[in-house]
Amino acid sequence: MNYTHVNPLHPPIANNHQSGFTTLDCALTGVNDTSLPSNWRRVPQDSSPRNIGSRHPQSPITFQMCGRPKVMGVGVSDLIGRNPASIPRMLIGGHDLYLQTKPGIILCIRWPGYQHSALITPITIGSGGVSRAVLGEIVAEKIKIFYDVAKYHATSNPRWSLGVQNIRLEQIVLLSLWNTHENYWQAEMAIHA
């Protein structure tokens, strides 16, 4: 038996009259697509209720290469393939400190079609906080761990399929980290051609 409740004060709104606007849009989409090169695609992020918090106490932490002021993001391979001492110099604000009042965060890495492989992992942070460069390197390593597991699993979204014949690790770009709720931070990523 189906039960449908119709509120006489607020009748249902047809789908073609509903707005796509949400006050949480910036927290779910992050970097505006116009700030990305035309051959990059931002990786869509899950907007399910478990990913939406009532508070966003921290501003997003962005990652940007020196010498490319109009392009957001840093290649994951660039962050994990370099000498750790050189990473602060390659990032704008590489020595900037974040999360000084947090003993750690929970990092969430999600990818379309791989909901079953989402990586949700703790990251321990020292009492003095963590620099943008060190945080970028840690997140890049976690993205690599996620990628190395997910590429062997089936995807429900072939457009975002991971693996050597599909989207390669070298194509993944870390754009930013967003505080989705409480102590949870989500990696915002893009891919380039």
Q: Which residues contact 36 (CB under 8 A, 6 or more apart)?
A: 42, 71, 72, 73, 190
Kindly report the pTM of this predicted structure. Answer: 0.80
- Would you mind telling me the total number of residues written for the chain in this entry? 193
Stretch 161-184: mean pLDDT: 95
Question: Would you call 106 exposed, middle or buried from its count of C-beta atoms within 10 A (0-12, 13-18, 19+)?
Answer: middle
Instruction: Check residue 45 and give its pLDDT.
Output: 85
The secondary structure element, H or E, covering residue 148 is helix 132-150
**Interval 101-138: pLDDT, tens:** 889 999 999 999 999 999 999 999 988 999 999 999 99
Instruction: Check residue 15 and give its pLDDT.
Output: 45
